[in-house]
Structure 1
Amino acid sequence: MRKFWKWKNRTVTNQETGQEQMERTLFLNGTIAEETWFDDDITPALFKDELMSESGRVTVWINSPGGDCVAAAQIYNMLKDYKDSVTVKIDGIAASAASVIAMAGDEVLMSPVSMLMIHNPATAAFGDSAEMQKAIDMLSGVKDSIINAYEVKTGLSRAKLSHLMDAETWMDANKALELGFADDILFRNAQKQEPDEEDSDENEPDKEENLPFKKESAVLFSRRAVANSLINKLATHTKSKDAPSSAVPPQAEGRSIDELYNQLNIIKHHI
C-alpha cells in the first residue's frame, strides 16, 4: 500500500524548562488509505510501529478529503492511546474520515482558511434484499461509532450530531470552534491588535469588534439544505407557470361585425 502519511522529527528547546525535547510532526495528506485497511494487518502495524517508536509530543497536520473509515478509526485509536500530547492542526480540509482522525487531538487547531466536513458513511452493496439490509445495518453501526468520536470531542447531543451528518455539513474554522469540533484558530494571536494606550475607554471599540474572527462570520453549509431550497424554488416556479390565469380577458373595443354588416346593407340601399 502507498503510504499516505509522513513523519518529520526535530529537537526543540522547552522555553519553560530549558531542556531539549523531541518534537514529532505527522503529515496526513490526500486520501486516507486509498487501498482499504480492511483485512490488512501489515499497514496498520507499520503505522503503529512508527508512532510508538519515539516519545515526545506529536503534531498532526491534516489536509485530506477523507477515505477509508476503518483506517481512520484505527488511527484515531492509536493517537488517543499515545502516551504524550497530540495536537491536530488542520491547514486545508479535514473531511469525512479525516474529520474522525482530527477528533483524536488533545487540542484541535484550524487554519482560518480551512474547512471541516462531516457526513454519513457510504458503501456499495450487491445482492438481494437481505444483503441490502445487512449493508444498511452495517452503515448504521459505522455511523454510531463515528458519532462516538464527535460526541467525546464536542459534547453535542447524538441527535444533533446525527442531524449534522445527515445534512453533510461543511464548517469553516469559526463554526467548528463554535460547535466544539475545534479548540482554537491558528494564527489568531498574531492578528490580535493591542489597544492604543492613548485611547480612552470611551473611544475603545467593543471587545468583540477587536477579534479577527467574529462569531457572526461563522459559516455552516449543508448540501441537503441547499438542494431542498433549490427543489422548493423550482416547484414554486413550475406551479406559477402551470396555474390557470386569473386575468380578465380583454374587452373588445369599437363596433361588432354584425353592426358593420348592417351598416353596409343600409349603404347599399341608398346607392
Structure 2
Amino acid sequence: MSKKTQVRVYDAAGVLVPVKDQTWYTLRASGEAEQQNIEVFVYGEIGAWGVTANQFVQDLRALDDGVSPVVVAFNSIGGDLFDGLAMHNALSRLGERCTGRIDALAASAASVAVCGAHRVVIAANAMLMIHNPWTYAAGDAEDFRKVADVLDQTLEAIIAAYKSKAPDIDDAELRRLVDAETWLTANEALALGLADEVGDGVKVSACLGHGDALRRFRNAPPGLLAQLDEQPPAVPGEPATPPEPAPVVDAAQLALLITQRCAESGISNLVEPLLKSTQLESEAVVQAGLARAKTINDLCVAARLPEFSAEFVAAGLDAASVRARLFDKLVGTGKGFEIDNSLPLENDPPPKVQAKKIDQPSIWAARQAAQQPSAKGTRP
C-alpha cells in the first residue's frame, strides 16, 4: 500500500494556497501497512488576522491519529506571540514524529512556533528571524511600567522556546541576537542549533501579501523587500493569455459617480484621491475604489488619524496596509491609541445620552441655606 497524504492549508484569506511543486506530494512505499502523512501549511499571519492557535490545534487534532508523521511547513511573518507559543507547545507534544519545515520565512512568532518541532528543516534559500517582543499601550506611568514588566517576562518565554530547540546555545549570544533583530540564513540557523537540516531551496514568495508588515521590521533583508515589487510569474506550460481589448470608458460618468457616492458617504474629501488612484479605469475599478476608500476612512477615524485617509486612498493602499501604517504612526508618535478594527454599521443605534448625576452636597447646602432665618427683622 502507498502512503496517503492529508494536507491542511492555512492563510490569512482563508482559502487554499495552490501548490504547483509536485514534490510536495511525493508518495513513498510503506510495505503492506497503510500509513498517512499529515502536512500542515502555516502560510500567513499567526493570530487573529490569520491562523489562530485554537484553529491550528483543533484542525490538527481532527487529522492526527497519534502515530502518523506530521510535517508543519512555515512561510509566515509571525504575529501574536502567545498564539506562537501555544503552537510551539502543540508541536512539542507530538514528539519525534513532528518535523517543522521553513519553506521561505519563519519570522517573529513563527520562529517561536517552528522551534517546537522535534526536527526543523530549513530550505537553503529560507530565513528565520528572531527579535524582542514588542507592543503598544495606553495609560498612565504605572500602566506602562506594567507593560514593560510583561515584555520582560515574554522575552524569557521566547528565550526558553529557542533554548528548548538549541539547549547548547550560549545564553548571552542568543539574547544579543534577539535584541538585534537577527535574520538568520539557513546555514546560520543550523550552526546555532535552531535548525537540524538544510533542505533544497524552492521558489516561494516570503511576502504573503503582508508587505507593509514586513517593512515594519528594522533589519528586513533587501532581497525580501524587493519581492514586494515583483510581478507574479507565469505558470510554466500554460500559454500566455492575449490581452483583451480595453472597453470604452465614459470618464465623465465615472467621475460623477465618485463625486455622488463620496457625498453620500460623507467622504467628499476623498474625491480627488479616488480620481488619482482609480484613474477612472472602469466602473468595476471605481466601485472597488469607493468601497476601499470608505474602509480606509473608517480605519483612520477609529485610529484618530483622519488626516491620513486622503494620502492612503491616493496611494491605492488596501485595508491591511493601512492598518500597518496606522500602527506605525501610533507607535512612533506615542499617542497610544488602539485601532478598533470593527467598522461602524450604518444601522448602529445612536449613543445613549447619560442622565446628569445628582449633586447631593449642592442640594443639601441649598436646603440648609433656605432653612436659616433671614437677617432682616431680627433683634440683636
Superposed pair shares fold, TM > 0.5: yes
1:66 to 64, 67, 78: 78
Question: 2:37 aligned with 1:50, yes or no?
Answer: no
| 1:87-106 aligned within 5 A | 87-106=99-118
State the match for 2:173 in structure 1: 160
1:22 to 2:31 alignment: no
**Once the 2 structures are TM-superposed, how far is the Cα of residue 157 of structure 1 from its aligned partner?**
2.9
Moved runs in structure 1, 4+ residues, more than 6 A?
5-11
For residues 30-87 of structure 1, the C-alpha deviation after alignment (integer angstroms, 9 at most, x for no partner) is 11114499xxxxx544432221222211101100011000110111111111266111
Looking at secondary structure, tell me which structure has more strand per residue: 1
Say which is worse superposed, 106-115 or 148-157, in terms of deviation.
Answer: 148-157
Contact 1:67–1:98 (CA<8 Å) still a contact in 2? yes
1:141-160 to structure 2, matched below 5 A, reads: 141-155=153-167, 156-160=169-173
Measure the CA separation in 2 of the matches of 1:88 and 1:44. 16
1:112 aligns with 2:124: yes
* CA distance in structure 2 between the aligned counterparts of 1:108 and 1:11, rounded to whole angstroms: 19
Question: Is 2:96–2:118's contact at 8 Å kept on the other side of the alignment?
Answer: no
Q: How many residues align?
A: 184
Equivalence for 1:172: 185
Structure 2 residue corresponding to 1:181, chosen from 167, 180, 194:
194
Change beyond 3 A, Cα 1:71–1:36? farther
Q: 2:342 maps to which residue?
A: none
SS of the residue 1:33 aligns to: coil
Paired residue type of 2:147: A
Show the counterpart of 1:245: none
Task: Map 1:114-133; keep pairs closer than 5 Å.
Answer: 114-133=126-145
Does the aligned pair in 2 maintain the 1:33–1:68 contact within 8 Å?
Answer: yes
Residue 14 of structure 1: CA displacement? 5.0
* SS state at 2:35 partner: strand
Q: Which residue matches 2:329?
A: none
Q: Aligned pair 1:78/2:87, yes or no?
A: no
- Unaligned runs of 5+ residues in structure 2 are 1-9, 202-217, 221-380
SS in 2 for 1:132: helix
**1:30 partner amino acid:** G
119-128 or 151-160: which moved more? 151-160
Deviation digits for residues 138-176 of structure 1 (CA, Å, limit 9, x no counterpart): 000000001001011112133221111111111110111
Shift of 1:26: 0.3
Show CA shifts across 1:71-107 (max 9, x none): 1011111111126611111111001000001101111
Quote the offset at 1:187 in angstroms.
2.8
Q: In the aligned structure 1, how far is the partner of 2:188 from the partner of 2:173? A: 15
Does the C-alpha gap of structure 1 residues 52 and 154 become closer, same or farther in structure 2, counting only changes over 3 Å?
same
- Aligned partners of 2:111 and 2:128 also within 8 Å: yes
Partner SS for 1:91: strand
Taking the aligned partners of 2:47 and 2:59, their CA distance within structure 1 comes to 16
Give the Cα separation in 2 of the matches to 1:90 and 1:50.
Answer: 20
C-alpha distance 184-136 of structure 1, shift in aligned 2 (>3 A) = same
Aligned counterparts of 1:47 and 1:31: Cα–Cα separation in 2: 12
RMSD (Å) for aligned C-alpha atoms: 3.0
Matches of 2:50 and 2:105, distance apart in 1: 21
Structure 1 residues 138 and 150: CA distance shift in structure 2, 3 A: same
Name the amino acid aligned to 1:178.
A
Q: Is the 8 A contact 2:11 2:42 kept in 1?
A: no
In structure 2, how many angstroms separate the alpha carbons of the residues matched to 1:11 and 1:20? 15
